[in-house]
Amino acid sequence: MALTEENPGYKWVGTRPIRPDGLDKVTGKAQFGADLTLPGMLFGKVVRSPHAHARILSIDTSAAESMLGVKAVITGSDFPDLAANGAHASDIDVANNAIARDKVLYEGHVVAAVAATTRELAEAAAKAVEVSYEILPHVLTVDEAMADNAPLLHENMITKGVDPAPDQPSNVASRIVHERGDLEQGFGEADVVIEREFTTKPVHQGYIEPHAAVADANNDGRANIWCSSQGHFAMRAYTATVLGVSQGTLKVTAAEIGGGFGGKTVIYLEPLAVRLSQRSGRPVKLVMDRDEVFRATGPTSGTRIKVKMGISNGGELTAAEVWMAFEAGAYAGSPVGAAGMTVIAAYDIPHFLVEGYDVVCNKPRVAAYRAPGAPMAAFAVESVLDELARSIDMDPIEVRLANAAVEGTQASYGPKFPRIGFVETLEAIKEHPNYTAELGPNQGRGVAAGFWFNAGMNSSATVHVNENGTATVVTGSPDIGGSRQSMALMAAEELGIPYESIKPVVADTETVGFNDVTGGSRVTLATGAAVVDACRLVIEDLRARAAKTWDVEIDQVEWVDGQAQHVDGSQPPLSLNALAAKSGRTGGPISANASLNARGVGAGFSTQLCDVEVDPETGVTRVVRYLTAQDAGRAISPDYVEGQMQGGVVQGIGWGLNEEYIHDENGAMENPSFLDYRMPVASDLPMIECSIVEVPNPAHPYGVRGVGEVGIVPPMAALANAIKDATGVRLTDLPMTPIKVLEALNEQSD
């Protein structure tokens, strides 16, 4: 069988061995952030604002400090005032979000923290901290925040990206815009124009493991931190910023992590734990309960999005106009920028205007959630595209094929696309038997597509060859999606030794070079590239050792299938084992480092097919069949790639059908538990069928494209389109709960 790009004849890459972390996780031996116990350790408890917006008039910690077992109490005054030190605006926001200074901006905002000898004593002490507030009026949605005379969260917020700049502050932090061609001309050329408005609610990443951190501070200003995070180098940097210290004083170890999805790329507990440890002189553990995770950690934005699109009878999109407002929560920084860049990126549209607003409101600061910004934008555009297709009686896959971005298409956000696999995912759906499977009564079918850039960024890796011929692959990328296995597979492929001989390890900030966060679907690509580079350096060294052993020039030595071979076969081969065993004699231990800022990032596309059944008398929607086709470039670990595809789909289904933050009139969250914050349970869903499409990324040694995020982009629109097909009603407000479906059905029959 000839080796081709489609079949490169890999021995390990693309196989499905047993995952390295599975046994420890299912037997309870895996060490998560809350599992660490140190001698003398104290338990921390955070005091949080009960108000959505208030001025802090005074904090009296004296009662708490005098309680039995209490060893430290801290407030905002225990942290440097970064604004006074002329720090960057974004650093100031991080610091103020970590602990409030003069104002609280959301229910749950940190006001103080205590450390005591037991959990119960810490909880009692937290209750004893007396805070006096002046309650201020609050705003909860983009509509409220953008209204005339809305109460302001930040007195000095002048909208960026507006020309001329406004002369009055507002709750609008910034505006983004993308434009091409002439909208009037574009809509003029359309045979059908459809305009719709959509609203979505904040939803939480819903990781099963709440945030946890243990900090142990020394007397000389150094501190060790163990935490659940997607990037311990980033945690070190943010924590140092908030504490006002140099990064070099902090050592951070990433614990095993129980999910992040973007929500653990930011700090919450770490600076509090360090400061409490410094004040008390003992290690301090801080763990959030689920209530705190909901109230005080970033969900993703609620939004209002207006979309107007035009299509010709022949199926060509002629124009698109998009207006979006995204909730940022208490501080600027919603993902409206990425939303603006992805909203129509999958299609080649000659005339468009995309405008987006980043709006602050009295809710927890939003944090990244799997392809941040893209899912809401796609919900809107893919719904309208579905309507346009219906209006000209065109198949939903065909309408997307007719307009799909391909290699060379000028993306809506600027550059031309390199080789991409969108069309291949559309065709994978079209050719799958599910596309023509029979639908029963009250059932309907919907299609939607999605795009995500994926990221590259910085990674470092070290590969050591052990004396017994096995290899340790050390990286600094916390494993949230199977990266340890992918690293081991690529290393096995490079070195030519069995996968079982490779041990993948995630090291702390002192033991491995810098790594950006695990996120942005970047690790298999970027950290993988670093691992490959390090392996190649190791191989060069192994060739040199063999050359020395045989007393020949290095160009006489090849590395094949895990052994050094003489080019003309005049020497018996030397295995990795043999070379490792006597490495001391040939120059010393064998290991190599590689660090890089990754290049050649390949974008990801996903097309999804959803069949639903809607009970016409109760409005309950059940997903009966779901197929996702995603371009993975090359699936290094197909098991994990499918896991990422399915995970994204399931989160999108929850977002589309039942998940939402519900607030009362005081701005307090009403459903901060999994009972009433309704994520899908296993019995809610059919098997999510996966079709892994491989259009290799030409710029990566193994053709990798990131896979973690794009899967969450299409599901909400796929569901809305399927519900429309089943019932005739078009829902434009998420989540599409049974109550909303029944209301729409009632209206339809009136």
Q: In 3D, which of 553, 567, 479 has the Cα closest to residue 519?
A: 479
CB-nearer residue toward another protein: 13 or 603: 603
CB-nearer residue toward another protein: 12 or 268: 268
Is residue 194 classed as helix, strand or coil in its secondary structure?
strand
Which x/- pattern over 640-659 shows residues binding another protein (rule: CB under 8 A)?
Answer: -----------------xx-
- Report phi then psi at 207, rounded to 5: -60, 145
Q: How many CA atoms lie within 13 A of 453 on its CB side?
A: 21
678 binds another protein (CB under 8 A): yes
Is residue 219 classed as helix, strand or coil in its secondary structure?
coil
Which x/- pattern over 553-592 shows residues binding another protein (rule: CB under 8 A)?
Answer: ----------------------------------------
Q: Pairing mode, if any, of strands 563-566 and 574-575? A: antiparallel
Candidates 95-103, 239-247, 672-680, 715-723; binding stretch for another protein (CB under 8 A): 672-680
Q: Which of 20, 680, 703, 714 binds another protein (CB under 8 A)?
A: 680
Candidates 54-62, 195-203, 386-394, 670-678; binding stretch for another protein (CB under 8 A): 670-678
Candidates 23-31, 98-106, 188-196, 616-624; binding stretch for another protein (CB under 8 A): 616-624
Query: Binding to another protein (CB under 8 A): which residues in 264-283?
Result: 265
Candidates 262-270, 426-434, 498-506, 571-579; binding stretch for another protein (CB under 8 A): 262-270
161 binds another protein (CB under 8 A): yes
Task: Copy the structure tokens of residue 703.
Answer: 């053709």
416 binds another protein (CB under 8 A): yes
Q: Which of 163, 553, 568, 747 binds another protein (CB under 8 A)?
A: 163
742 binds another protein (CB under 8 A): yes
Q: Which of 177, 406, 554, 581 binds another protein (CB under 8 A)?
A: 177
CA 283 to the chain's CA centroid: 30
Exposure letters 145-154 (e unless 16+ CB within 10 A, then b)? bbeeebebbb
In SS3 terms, 68-105 reads as CCEEEEEEHHHCCCCCCCCCCHHHHHHHHHHCCCCEEC
Is residue 60 classed as helix, strand or coil in its secondary structure?
strand
Q: Which of 148, 568, 617, 747 binds another protein (CB under 8 A)?
A: 617
Q: Tell me the C-alpha distance between 475 and 485, whole Å.
A: 12
Minimal distance, residue 660 CB to another protein, in Å: 9
Minimal distance, residue 375 CB to another protein, in Å: 10
- Report phi then psi at 440, rounded to 5: -90, -175
Q: Which of 370, 400, 543, 724 binds another protein (CB under 8 A)?
A: 370
Q: How many CA atoms lie within 13 A of 542 on its CB side?
A: 35
Which x/- pattern over 439-458 shows residues binding another protein (rule: CB under 8 A)?
Answer: --------------xxxxxx
665 binds another protein (CB under 8 A): no
Q: Which amino acid is at 569?
A: G
Q: In 3D, which of 364, 369, 358, 366 has the Cα closest to residue 668?
A: 364
Number of residues this chain uses to bind another protein (CB under 8 A): 67
338 binds another protein (CB under 8 A): yes
Answer for the pair 653, 680: CB distance below 8 angstroms, yes or no.
yes
CB-nearer residue toward another protein: 95 or 455: 455
Task: Copy the structure tokens of residue 611.
Answer: 């069949």
Residues 6+ apart with CB under 8 A from 422: 346, 404, 405, 406, 449, 451, 605, 607, 631
Q: In 3D, which of 633, 420, 372, 413 has the Cα closest to residue 517?
A: 372
- Report phi then psi at 600, rounded to 5: 70, 35
Query: Binding to another protein (CB under 8 A): which residues in 193-222?
Result: 205
C-beta neighbour count of 98 within 10 angstroms:
24
**β-bridge partners, 560:** 563
C-alpha angle 562/565/566, rounded to 5°? 165
607 binds another protein (CB under 8 A): no
Candidates 97-105, 176-184, 506-514, 714-722; binding stretch for another protein (CB under 8 A): 176-184
Q: Which of 599, 686, 728, 748 binds another protein (CB under 8 A)?
A: 599
261 binds another protein (CB under 8 A): yes
Q: Which of 104, 234, 371, 723 binds another protein (CB under 8 A)?
A: 371
Q: Tell me the C-alpha distance between 382 and 389, whole Å.
A: 10
CB-nearer residue toward another protein: 204 or 545: 204
623 binds another protein (CB under 8 A): no
- Residue holding tokens 């399931």? 650
DSSP string, 688-731: EEEEEE----TTSTT-----TTGGGSSHHHHHHHHHHHHHS---
CB-nearer residue toward another protein: 514 or 550: 514
Minimal distance, residue 676 CB to another protein, in Å: 5
Q: Tell me the C-alpha distance between 57 and 400, whole Å.
A: 57
CB-nearer residue toward another protein: 212 or 590: 212
Minimal distance, residue 700 CB to another protein, in Å: 12
Candidates 175-183, 247-255, 307-315, 553-561; binding stretch for another protein (CB under 8 A): 175-183
* Sign (positive or negative) of CA dihedral 152, 155, 159, 164: positive
331 binds another protein (CB under 8 A): no
Task: Give the full edge-to-edge strand order of the sheet including 212-217.
Answer: 70-75, 110-116, 42-48, 284-287, 212-217, 223-227, 250-254
Minimal distance, residue 325 CB to another protein, in Å: 16
Q: Which amino acid is at 610?
A: C
Which x/- pattern over 708-737 shows residues binding another protein (rule: CB under 8 A)?
Answer: -x---------------------------x
Q: Tell me the C-alpha distance between 135 and 378, whole Å.
A: 38
Candidates 186-194, 415-423, 459-467, 556-564; binding stretch for another protein (CB under 8 A): 415-423
Candidates 235-243, 270-278, 618-626, 630-638; binding stretch for another protein (CB under 8 A): 618-626
Q: In 3D, which of 320, 374, 343, 9 has the Cα closest to residue 189?
A: 320
Candidates 53-61, 460-468, 574-582, 677-685; binding stretch for another protein (CB under 8 A): 677-685
Answer for the pair 145, 134: CB distance below 8 angstroms, yes or no.
no
Q: Which of 276, 423, 699, 722 binds another protein (CB under 8 A)?
A: 699
Q: Which of 417, 422, 605, 640 binds another protein (CB under 8 A)?
A: 417
Minimal distance, residue 539 CB to another protein, in Å: 27
Q: Which of 314, 414, 433, 441 binds another protein (CB under 8 A)?
A: 414
Q: Which of 17, 151, 418, 638 binds another protein (CB under 8 A)?
A: 418
CB-nearer residue toward another protein: 456 or 504: 456
Distances (CA, A) of 463 to 450, 542, 594, 599: 36, 13, 9, 21
Q: Which of 47, 110, 330, 341 binds another protein (CB under 8 A)?
A: 341
CB-nearer residue toward another protein: 297 or 454: 454
Is residue 411 classed as helix, strand or coil in its secondary structure?
coil
21 binds another protein (CB under 8 A): no
Q: Which of 323, 413, 435, 514 binds another protein (CB under 8 A)?
A: 413
262 binds another protein (CB under 8 A): yes
User: Residues in the site for another protein, rule: CB under 8 A?
Assistant: 161, 163, 175-179, 205, 261-263, 265, 335, 337-338, 341, 368-372, 413-418, 453-458, 517, 519-522, 597, 599-601, 617-618, 620, 622, 657-658, 662, 670-671, 674-676, 678, 680-681, 683-684, 699, 709, 737-739, 742-743, 746
